[in-house]
Amino acid sequence: MTAARLPWAADLLHAWFHELRPDQWFGRSDVVDTKLRRRFARTLARLGGQPATAFLGDPLTARAAVLLFDQVPRNLFRDDPRAFAYDSLARAITRGARAKGWDRSMTKNARHFLYMPMMHSEAIADQLLALRLFAALGNNRTLDFCRSHARMIERFGRFPHRNKVLGRKSTRAEKRAVAEGNAW
């Protein structure tokens, strides 16, 4: 089934890339969070239990699903463990889309969001992959963010800024890293 036949996918791609401005993609905004919650919370709840293969019928559905399971929860569930609850599904969809070669025909902007689940991962193998993928995109600012994410995983094996929300105890070194600005 193509994204054109999946209204949620077309709606999410339109909302993300045409209604939101790039400066709204990553900043904290109650207005954006509310807008996304109203439009996509039910979709996230309804589809979140599906396997990754359910979203690998075509490139547009895969792109929308990665946004739905990687970016949208971070807006809907700030300061809540549910912000990360769909990360493994988003990574699996990213892997599936790459295995099909779909990323090769996507714009750099589309690939950026397709690859984000790897940067958000607390697994070093995913971080190393993210570094290669984002380096190939040629955006130094994004690559710098990717490097900072990878450094935290190399250093701590996790993202210290997630510790509180996930109920994990932080070490002194992790607290210092967060205080130094290593929280995204």
Q: Convert the pLDDT of each residue in 115-145 to its tens digit.
A: 999 999 999 999 999 999 999 999 999 999 9
Which two tokens mark 176?
A: 């210092």
Task: Kindly report, residue by residue over 4-42, the tens digit of the pLDDT.
Answer: 468 999 999 999 999 999 999 988 999 999 999 999 999
In a 10 Å sphere around its CB, with 0-12 CB exposed, 13-18 middle and 19+ buried, how is residue 18 labelled? exposed
Task: Kindly report, residue by residue over 54-90, the tens digit of the pLDDT.
Answer: 999 999 999 999 999 999 999 999 999 999 999 999 9
Give the model's pLDDT for residue 172.
Answer: 97
Give the model's pLDDT for residue 5.
Answer: 61
pTM of the model: 0.94
Give the model's pLDDT for residue 177.
Answer: 95
Is the per-residue pLDDT at 3 higher than 90? no
φ/ψ of 108, rounded to 5, equals: -60, -40
Task: Kindly report, residue by residue over 153-178, the tens digit of the pLDDT.
Answer: 999 999 999 999 999 999 999 999 99
Q: Are 71 and 116 in contact (CB under 8 A)?
A: yes
Q: What is the mean pLDDT of the chain?
A: 95
Q: In which residue are the tokens 């209204």 written?
A: 7
Give the model's pLDDT for residue 4.
Answer: 47
> What is the identity of the amino acid at 139?
N
Kindly report each contact of residues 110-115 with a partner whose C-beta sits within 8 Å and lies 24 or more positions away, as own/partner: 110/63, 111/137, 112/137, 112/139, 112/142, 113/16, 113/63, 113/66, 113/67, 113/70, 113/71, 114/62, 114/63, 114/66
Is the per-residue pLDDT at 184 higher than 90? no
